[in-house]
Each structure stands twice: as C-alpha cells, then as structure tokens.
Structure 1
Amino acid sequence: MSARILALVGSLRAGSHNRQLAEAAVKLAPEGSEVALFEGLAEIPFYNEDIDVEGSVPAAAVRLREAAAGADALLLFTPEYNGTIPAVLKNAIDWLSRPYGAGAISGKPVAVVGTAFGQYGGVWAQDETRKSVGIAGGKVIEDIKLSIPGSVTRFAELHPADDTEVVEQLTEVITRLHGHAAEPAAA
C-alpha cells in the first residue's frame, strides 16, 4: 500500500537543521511512500476559537487541515526551544485538533523526531510534542524515535542527507511509520 506522510517542521528558519532533516526525509521516502513537506506554518495565526468558525477560518489553517486530512500519517520534526516544543509546531497541532473529537489528525499515526544542539538531541521537545499531538487525537507511535544531538557541530558542513547514520535511521523511521499508516487498510 502506498502512504502519504505529511511532514511538519517546528522551525521557521530557512537553514534549520530540522528542516534539512525533513528535506532528507522527502528524498529518502522508500518506494510506496511519499513524504510531503508542508510549507506555510508561519502564515497560520495563533489558534483562536473566534476565527475558527465556518466561513472565517484563515486560508493558511484550511490548507494545513486539508493537507493533514489527505495524509495517511504525519512526521513531525521538532527543534527544542528553551527545553520544550516550538510555538509554531504547537500552534499547528492546535489547529489540527479541531473541531474537537474530529480534527484532521484524529486517529492518524504520528511520529516525532528531530535534532537539537544539546547532548540529548531535543528529547524534551519531542516528548512534549508527542504528549500534545496525542491529546489532540493523533495516534502517537511511541516506539518510533530519532533524537540527533549536537546539530550545530554535526551538520555544520554536512547536510543530514549526506550523513550515513542519519540516512539509515531516518529511512527506518519512514519505513516503520509507513507500516503504521498501512494498518487501517489491512484491518
């Protein structure tokens, strides 16, 4: 079965190592998988129920919801900002959680990975992201993890797509997430 995996990146910086990791995922998607990198998280306003009403939902939020609804699974890439999840990623999760109980990620397999400068590779942010997306209705795949420490030095002159260890680990993440995305069709 083919699987469309939507990638969301919690960093808006053009040269972000997490963005580079997501770009690598797009290139590494195994046969039968497509990883699509969502562009436009910066344009989505902070979640506000006053604007989340039919006819008033901002176009950027509608695009995000449609992209997630059309995906079989989500792969979230998060840096760690002050020991936790970046606001842009949390905001995307908030928009995807609505309408309550029937959000665009409800029941969809979700994996969370990332890289950060610290020695643990952003595990706090990843844990917080898993918690948030799980509460929002996503089916968090807890045993799919990838935390790459020392991003600033490790990727100073090497793109993640050119790092053999990262390529192997990221390919494994996508392959395993693809397997989870295929489960509902097999049921």
Structure 2
Amino acid sequence: MSKIRVAVLVGSLRQGSFNRHLALAVGRLAPPEFTFEHIRIDHLPLYNQDFDGAYPDACKRLKQEVEAADALLFVTPEYNRSIPGVLKNAIDIASRPWGTNSFAGKPAGVIGISVGATGTALAQQHLRGVLAYLDVPTLGQPEVFIHNKEGLMDADGKITSEGTHRFLQGFVDRYVEWVRLITRK
C-alpha cells in the first residue's frame, strides 16, 4: 500500500494541550502507511485580504503543507461554544486567496477533547460547516466528543482508559477505511 500523508491541525496552542495529546494518540493507533504531520499554526499572521496578492512566507508554507497532504485531521478544543480563533485563522489563510483553496477535495476527520461534559460538540459542528463550504468531505461517524477526566491519558498523551482506547481505535479504523476510499490509495 502507498503512504498516506495526513495533515493534522490542532486548534490549541497550550503547551499541555489535551487536543495535541489526542492527536498524538490517534496517530499511534493508525496503520504504518499513515503518517501524521502536525502543521504549525501558532506563527501565522492574522488573515488580511490585503496580502492576497503577495502572501507572507508563513502563509505560503501552510498552503504547501496542506496541499502536500492526502487527508486532513482537525483536532479542536471548544472556546465559547465554537472553534478557536487560531484554527479559523489557519483555515482562512489556507483557503485563500479566492480560487486557491488548499483544502478542497481532501477527506477530513474532526475530533476533540475538553474538560466539559459535552466535549467539543458545538465547536465540531461549527467547524464542519466551514469545511463543507470549503469542499472538504468530512467523515460523519463516529463522532468523537471526548470528555477529559482524571486518568484518561498519561503525561505523554497515551490513552490509559481501556474503553476510550477501544472507542478511538474504532474511530481510527473507520477514518483509515474512509480516507482510503476517498483517496483510492
């Protein structure tokens, strides 16, 4: 089987981010032909249509990294019932200027973890709406709204809860199958 490159965009900049740990855990559960490349978004300028004609280098790099990927994985926290500004900014940058949407047609998964009981359900709903507009086919099921509790993960982001590990493995298996179907790899 050929390699499948997955661009991972984590919407949390926090050093001890639960979502970054979740992204790493998902990558460990995937088969070896899937490589998960975490895309840096913390250094991007705020999107401004004035630079559509001459994109800053950091923005060009983001677009190139997304374009080089076969698939996408968005891992988002929920801030004020929506997606974090840093993630929306990265999406705006990589989908612009008009007619150069780097995300178009790439299959995506959307997952998240939060200390709140509903996980990241509303943030994911908002993100799915944005991705639908950008022509990003998004895996619908299973949805992954993880409620972070004491003992769920260790300090390295390894899932220590057997039930959560099984659930995430089910998501990864379905995501892998779906990405292969869409990319025909």
Compute the TM-score of the two structures, normalised by the length of structure 2.
0.88
Q: Shift of the alpha carbon at 1:18?
A: 0.3
CA contact under 8 A between 1:96 and 1:103: conserved in structure 2?
A: yes
Q: 1:162 aligns with which of 159, 163, 167?
A: 159
Per the alignment, residue 45 of structure 1 pairs with 45
Shift of 1:184: 4.2
* Contact 1:8 1:76 (C-alpha < 8 Å) held by counterparts: yes
Query: CA shift at 1:141, angstroms?
Result: 1.7
Between 22-31 and 160-169, report the one with greater CA deviation: 160-169
Offset at 1:96?
A: 2.0
Match of 2:170? 172
Relative distance call for 1:42 and 1:142 in structure 2 (3 A) is same
Gap runs ≥5 in structure 1: none
Question: TM-score normalised to the size of structure 1?
Answer: 0.87
Please tell me whether the aligned partners of residues 73 and 177 of structure 1 are also in contact (alpha carbons under 8 angstroms). Answer: no
* Percent identity over paired residues: 34
Match among 66, 69, 81 for residue 68 of structure 1:
66
Q: 1:109 to 1:82 in 2, by over 3 A?
A: same
Cα distance 1:85–1:107, how it changes in 2: closer, same or farther (>3 A)? same
Say what the alpha-carbon RMSD is for the aligned residues: 2.2
Distance change in 2, residues 1:158/1:77 (3 Å): same
2:150 is matched with 153
Encode CA deviations 1:27-55: one digit per residue, 9 max, x unaligned: 332122111111x21111111111122xx
Q: Aligned pairs, how many?
A: 183
